[in-house]
Amino acid sequence: MRQLPGTRLRQIVRPIVLASLLMALLLPGAVPMANASPQAESTKVAAESAWKKKPMVIAHRGGRKWAPENTMIAFKKSMNAGCDGVELDIHRCKSGELVVIHDETLDRTTDGKGLVKDFTYDEIKKLDAGKWYAKEFEGERVPLLSEVLEAFDGKMLINIEIKNTPIEYVGIEDDLINLLRKYKHPEKIMISSFDHELIRRIHKISPIYEVAFLDASIIADVGEYGKKLGATAWNAAHYELRPDAVKRAQKAGLSVNVWTVDGIPDWKRAMEWNVDGIVTDDPAGLIDFLKTDEAKVSLN
């Protein structure tokens, strides 16, 4: 099972450091940590770095606080601000393309009406996906996933959430994998969904991609459950999570990315739990907060 870098590092260094501490405490004549060799000091520094690692900043739908969700302008702002990744949503339209939009309907985020599946992309691309948010964004369009991939070109992580409920897009996993085969940066792709059977199928079809199961509950035997799906990550709702669940998941080899976390109190809590990634509507705010002394305290 593949793991995100932070998870792997913790699993490597923690046993080493714990063993050193036990030797210092229990063995007669053991060298105190204060007088440890340069190699031991290096190990200690690496361990502290792992324990206090900053979480990834992942812009929810591109960052809904600064631009209309799931639009190219939102994604470009995320990239320019230095986010570690973006989260976006896909549906399949009538002509077969994978389009980047959250809802199964066009109603909320465009000036169109109706189900995404009932319109061709030629029809969808004529709709305005920005003026509902603010006048300055008038003219933004619903992008294709292929356009987003081309724009990022490996510059940051793309967390692709497949929307397969309440409407089932039969075979959408094959459409996505076929599209991603042309993308030269598989290590920068994470595929997630609330449809866990879909996640299992994607891992079986193409295990080179990070896959994450979305959930809003505490899962018993979360590691075993993730293993059955072939998942490398648990993307969990922060409002239905506890620190013990985070630890159990990470111990089992899963990275834990929490959504949707907005505001300093919730950022601090997520950081105290040592999550691997924070999915937020306010990526600029989180980036700024991570630079503060208050954030450093949360990482201790």
60 is catalytic: yes
CA angle 164, 165, 167 (to 5 degrees): 85
Total Cβ atoms within 10 A of residue 282: 21
Strand partners, 159: 87, 190
Residues 86 and 158 sit within 8 Å (Cβ to Cβ): yes
CA angle 156, 160, 161 (to 5 degrees): 145
CA angle 286, 236, 158 (to 5 degrees): 60
Question: Two tokens at 11?
Answer: 């699993």
Total Cβ atoms within 10 A of residue 171: 9
Distance CA 137, CA 70 (A): 13
State the catalytic residue, choosing from 91, 102, 203, 238: 102
Question: Two tokens at 156?
Answer: 């940051």
Question: Two tokens at 93?
Answer: 């339209």
- Residues tagged active-site: 60, 102
